Structure 1
Amino acid sequence: MKSRRWPYLALFAVTALLAALPQLATAAVICHAGANLSVPESSEGLYINFATGVSGPTAGSTPGYDFDPYAAVNTTPSGQLRFYWNDMSSGNGGVVSSGDVYAVLGPGDSISASSLFSRAAFAGNTDIWRAGLTAAYLGYRFKNETTNAINYGWVRLTTSPPMGFPLTVIDWCYDDTGAAITIAPALPDTIFIDEFESPPLAAQ
């Protein structure tokens, strides 16, 4: 009679593997694909909550907003693109190359706690962005309201000269564990990606 011990050994091995998975699955990249949000060329611009995906024309219509690209009225000339990051307590900010010069990132670049960040709004330097860019990446950090932790991510923008408008927010991604994130060559049509390549959810 053949031994039936192997099914139990196999079951034990599978159980042990499953028990280890929660410890292995440390990275969770959340993406909001296909947003294609048109930003009004106004002093309010467009308020965006990176975690919920909600956007609106005012702070009041966008609870917990993290990012607000807008046209500043006090620049010379007036109407230049600027980035606002909510109040100081949020810890939000954008990646800069130095000082308050907002950097243009690309595939392969990483955003983490070691990146240089600025919260400068009116005083921020967006010259490169205002020159006109197609699908360029702005790195950021923000306080995730669901975890109350700082997360790192990127938002992809298309801008137009000479002021930066018309401006489109194409999509964005962030790592909700607080880990560093590396910009991928192209964003798949999903809102969730993990290290184990779980079946993607439909984009919303």
Structure 2
Amino acid sequence: MSVQSRIARTALLSALAAALPAGAAEVCSPLRNLNVPATGEGLYLNLITGVSGEAESLAPGFDIDPYARQIGEPPGQLKFYWGSAANGGAGVVSSGTTFAVLQPGAVIGPDALFSRAGFDGDTSLWQAGLSQAYLGLRFKNEGSGAINYGWIRLSTQPPLGFPVTIHDWCYDDAGAPATVPAADAIYADGFELPG
């Protein structure tokens, strides 16, 4: 399926999701393919508004900031910054501060292991290079004030993680756990868009 067909299908599915009853709690972004610069600022992203920017002031209320560590050995390593402790932001870890690469079916919720480690967080699994892998997270929804759980789909490259692309994300805006979808589940529904 072409990239254009996938984008069109994502837009159609987003429009259909918007027509669901107000009780629907899963919120997913359209395909964004945001490039994260390999700088000390990286790319700040507000998951609620979808606003991103290469400075914190350009993405008010940001929830995650993938960036390149500027000091330490080796410099240029991919790291994740979660903002102030007041926002409750953190990423899912397999143990300690090792940010996990989640598999389809993984549940991100209050029972998951989280870390707020930024500069000292272990992103070695992500630095190795991954194609469209899932990072679980939690963050404070600035609209409701509740902690929300979700995931971000990223691609990274060896040896330090850059270039990084943020493809898309989903979270549950009611504060319920979120589940990592099956590979290409959004495109496995059996119908094709014209073109």
Task: Tell me, yes or no, whether TM beats 0.5.
Answer: yes
TM-score by length of 2: 0.82
Shift of 1:74: 1.4
Q: Within 2, Cα distance between the matches of 1:143 and 1:154?
A: 14
Q: 1:29 to 1:187 in 2, by over 3 A?
A: farther
Unmatched runs of 5 consecutive residues or more in structure 1: 1-21, 190-204
**1:122 to 2:119 alignment:** yes
Larger relative contact order (CA 8 Å, sep ≥ 6): 1
Unmatched runs of 5 consecutive residues or more in structure 2: 1-20, 188-195
Equivalent position of 1:103 in the other structure: 100
Equivalent position of 2:186 in the other structure: 188
Q: Within 2, Cα distance between the matches of 1:27 and 1:139?
A: 20
What is the total number of aligned residue pairs between the two structures?
A: 166
Alignment of 1:20-39 (within 5 A): 27-39=24-36
Q: 1:85 to 1:128 in 2, by over 3 A?
A: same
The structure with the larger Rg is 1
Decide whether the 8 Å contact of 1:27 with 1:179 is kept in 2: no
Which amino acid in the other structure matches residue 32 of structure 2? A
Q: Match for 1:93 among 75, 90, 110?
A: 90
Q: 1:148 to 1:98 in 2, by over 3 A?
A: same
Q: Which runs of 4+ in 1 moved over 6 A?
A: none
Q: Within 2, Cα distance between the matches of 1:53 and 1:104?
A: 23
Equivalent position of 1:67 in the other structure: 64
Q: Match for 1:148 among 124, 134, 145?
A: 145
Equivalent position of 2:6 in the other structure: none
Q: Match for 1:82 among 79, 82, 85?
A: 79
Give a deviation string over 1:175-197, Cα, whole Å, max 9, x none.
Answer: 000001111123638xxxxxxxx
Cα RMSD over matched residues?
1.4
Q: Match for 1:42 among 39, 43, 54?
A: 39
Q: Within 2, Cα distance between the matches of 1:100 and 1:187?
A: 29
